[in-house]
Amino acid sequence: MLCKEIASSVSLLAMVLAQAVYVSPTLACSICQSGDPLAPAGTAKLDAGQAQLALNFEYLTARARSHDDPLFIEELTQMTLRPVFSFSPWSALSAVLQVPVVFKDFSETAPGDVSNQTKPAGLGDVDIGARIFLLSSKNFQRETWHRFGVSLGSTLPTGSNDAQENGVRLDEHAQLGIGAFAPYAGVLYAFSQDPWNFFATVSAKRPLVNGYAYRYGPAVMWSFAVEYRPVDRLSFGLGLDGRYAWADIQAGATVSNTGGLVVAAAPVLKLNLFDELWFVARAQIPFATHLFGEQSVGPTIFGGVQYTFD
């Protein structure tokens, strides 16, 4: 029975992800983040003294008309391998370190088959964050658990932002990093009553100006998710991820074809492989947008494993 339920759930998620890949792209800025900045660390709260290692893979595609030369269309395929380390020294605190290794395929194409292509790869912008739980209330009689807290953190300018080709600096979206700190802060709430779990977070992110007078637009991001666990080794759910981003700024001027609203459905599947090792797969499938300029982006696909140490 368990094997049949697991197989059925895996097949269902595979169908959803496969369909997502073929969904018509919707407008969005090319690198803005949706949902929870600390999502790669998962939604489970670690106990005091616990640590968690995770290895996540992300895949996305995006397309936009060039701001510098509107004759060109910019296209990006980005893959990220992201080791994540989480540690909870106290029950009220979880610290998270994310170290992305980024692979990009960036091209600019104009009418007449005039094109430029580059494929940078390397370390991206490392992210250091924390979840601080201000309230954790359990009702053993009702078997419920409420948690409320805040999240704080920032990406660090560790990814290259000065890559050149033939003596010319590559486009901002072809760089491995944004070249500046990008602090964020938010609030989170979680509710559990077995076999149901609910998680919600709203965050704001404000990147700083980099050395080339470019600043990515501030953004408000949110994530709401409900998960159901039919058996101990399997859970699945559906979320609503989104963002509203202001347009980018370069040398005091607004950058066209950046910023706007994206709302995405976010299916998720979690499968226990053995002991404390879990496989996690999820996606962000945009279905509602209100954006600025000419842009498009496909669904973002995530997959990975995580292991918790006592």
pLDDT in tens, 270-301: 999 999 999 999 999 999 988 888 888 789 99
Q: Where are the domains of the chain?
A: 2-309
Q: What is the pLDDT of residue 226?
A: 96
In the numeric block, which tokens belong to residue 44? 């489970």
Helix H or strand E encompassing 21:
helix 2-21
Give per-residue pLDDT as tens, 166-207: 888 888 888 999 999 999 999 999 999 989 999 999 999 999
Length of the chain: 310
| CA of residue 263 relative to chain centroid, distance | 13
Half-sphere exposure of 254 (CA within 13 A, CB side): 10
The pLDDT, as a whole number, for residue 142 is: 78
Span 255-284, mean pLDDT?
94
Half-sphere exposure (CA, 13 Å, Cβ side) for 278? Answer: 23
- For the chain, give percent helix, strand, coil, nearest 5: 10, 60, 35
pLDDT: is 68 or 180 the higher one? 180
Is residue 241 predicted with pLDDT exceeding 70?
A: yes
Q: What is the structure's pLDDT at 32?
A: 53
Phi-psi region of 11 (alpha: psi -120 to 50; beta: other; left: phi over 0): alpha
Of 71-75, 204-208, 215-219, 277-281, the range with the lowest mean pLDDT is 71-75
Identify the residue with better confidence: 44 or 150.
150
* CATH class of this structure's domain 2-309: mainly beta
> d(Cα 160, Cα 222) in Å, to the nearest integer?
28
Q: For residue 3, what pLDDT is reported? A: 47
Residues 70 and 73: their CA atoms lie apart, in Å, by: 7
Predicted TM-score of the model (pTM): 0.86
What is the DSSP code (8-state) at residue 12?
H
Q: Give first-to-last CA distance, the chain, whole Å.
A: 30
Band of the pLDDT at 29, cuts 50, 70, 90? very low
What is the Cα–Cα distance from 28 to 108, expressed in whole angstroms? 18
CA dist., res. 298 & res. 219, Å (int): 19
Instruction: Give the residue-averaged pLDDT of 105-129.
Output: 87
Q: Is pLDDT of 112 > 80?
A: no
217 close to 246: Cβ distance less than 8 angstroms: yes
Distance between CA atoms of residues 33 and 15, nearest Å: 25
Looking at this protein, which amino acid is placed at residue 271? L
pLDDT grade for 33, boundaries at 50, 70 and 90: low
Is the pLDDT score of 27 beyond 90?
no
Which value, in Å, is the radius of gyration of the alpha carbons in the chain? 20
List, in sequence order, every residue forming a beta bridge with 169; answer none if it has no partner. 164
The phi, psi pair for 213, rounded to 5°, reads 60, 30
Cα separation, 196 vs 41, in Å, equals 20
Percent of the residues in the chain that have a pLDDT greater than 70, as a whole number: 89
The pLDDT value recorded for residue 15 is 46
Report the pLDDT value the prediction gives residue 182, as an integer from 0 to 100. 95
Q: Which residue has the higher pLDDT, 45 or 200?
A: 200
pLDDT greater than 60 at residue 10 = no
